[in-house]
Amino acid sequence: MSVRLGYMPGAFGQGGEDPDYLRKLVAVGDKYDYDSIWLSDRIVSDKFSLEPMIALSMVAAWSPKLKFGTSVIAMPLRNPVVLAKQVATLDFLSDGRMLPFVGLGQEEPEEYEACGVSKERRGARTEEAIQLMRRLWEEDNVTHEGEFYTCHDVSVTPKPAFKPSPPVWIGGRSHAAARRAGRVGDGWFVSSATPEEIREGREVVFTTAAECDREIEDDHIGIILGYYITPNVEETLPKAYNFVTRHRPDAYFTEYSAIGPAEKIIETIHRYVEAGAHKFVVRPLCPAEETMEQLEIMGREVVPHFPL
């Protein structure tokens, strides 16, 4: 099974002073043969954040080969019919390069309030939305009467280029998210997870899928891996610490990140591969002014070890 290395911008707020920043990020991916580029979803935030579906349309136009995805889109906050139309359009125009990875969204109740959605039962809402989107991509004249969404005799066109429909991976480190991936997803995608947690969660995903009489491809397990390539690990750790987006109270960030020379990053990736992860989204743990350099070093010294 092949290993895929994608990438995403570093700390939130990067590029806010430069409208050409995203184009530069795309150029780095094309130059160094990264597999994919990823954007996060923050609808309400005091930090600079591009709306991912709009921004990814620019990625599709600028790059003829990069896959692109949402890491991850807040599914409960989105109308699934509108999102299905957006994903189908992007996938059609890019010849099958759209990767709609979804999750439950952030914990802050104000974002749900601002979007007019209750936070209660967001897991069930997400599962119903995924099933409805998949039907809209694969069928015509869809009628759906669910707990959260209702539509009668509707169609979405164009249909996605990826057949039968784009793979919907479920984001989240918890066993609940892994079980959701097994029930309704096409893959499992996590951040801030150790190799052992990948191994345990993978077992949950595939056990749940079997119980639901579903099949998920063996290599459809992925992780966001924070990294910084440097020969001076001790000097770099305090700086990298400041750019971890999600610190865990039960594990220091070096347990689920890769800090050190290129050889250390390659070794860390192999540890995750042995645990069962095959899609990686690397994220530089550094300030905005160092991001391009870090992505270029990764592209020169690490990406060639995992060819497409």
Query: For position 96, which CATH number holds?
Result: 3.20.20.30
- Residue 213's pLDDT is 97
User: Is the pLDDT at 205 greater than 90, yes or no?
Assistant: yes
Q: How far is residue 191 from each of residues 54, 119, 134, 252, 289, measured CA to CA in Å?
A: 24, 22, 25, 14, 23
pLDDT tens by residue, 206-216: 999 999 999 99
What mean pLDDT comes out for the span 57-73? 96
Q: How confident is the model at residue 17 (pLDDT cuts 50, 70, 90)?
A: confident
Q: What range defines the domain where residue 11 resides?
A: 4-305
User: Distance between CA 295 and CA 182 in Å, rounded?
Assistant: 33
Name the pTM for this structure: 0.94
Tell me the pLDDT tens digit for each residue of 146-171: 999 999 999 999 999 999 999 999 99
CA 89 to chain centre: 19
The tokens for 67 are 């896959």
- Please give the tally of structural domains in the chain: 1
Percent of the residues in the chain that have a pLDDT greater than 90, as a whole number? 88
> Whole-angstrom Cα distance, residue 201 to residue 274?
14
- Rounded to whole angstroms, the Cα distance separating 93 from 59 reads 11
Query: DSSP secondary-structure letter at 255?
Result: G
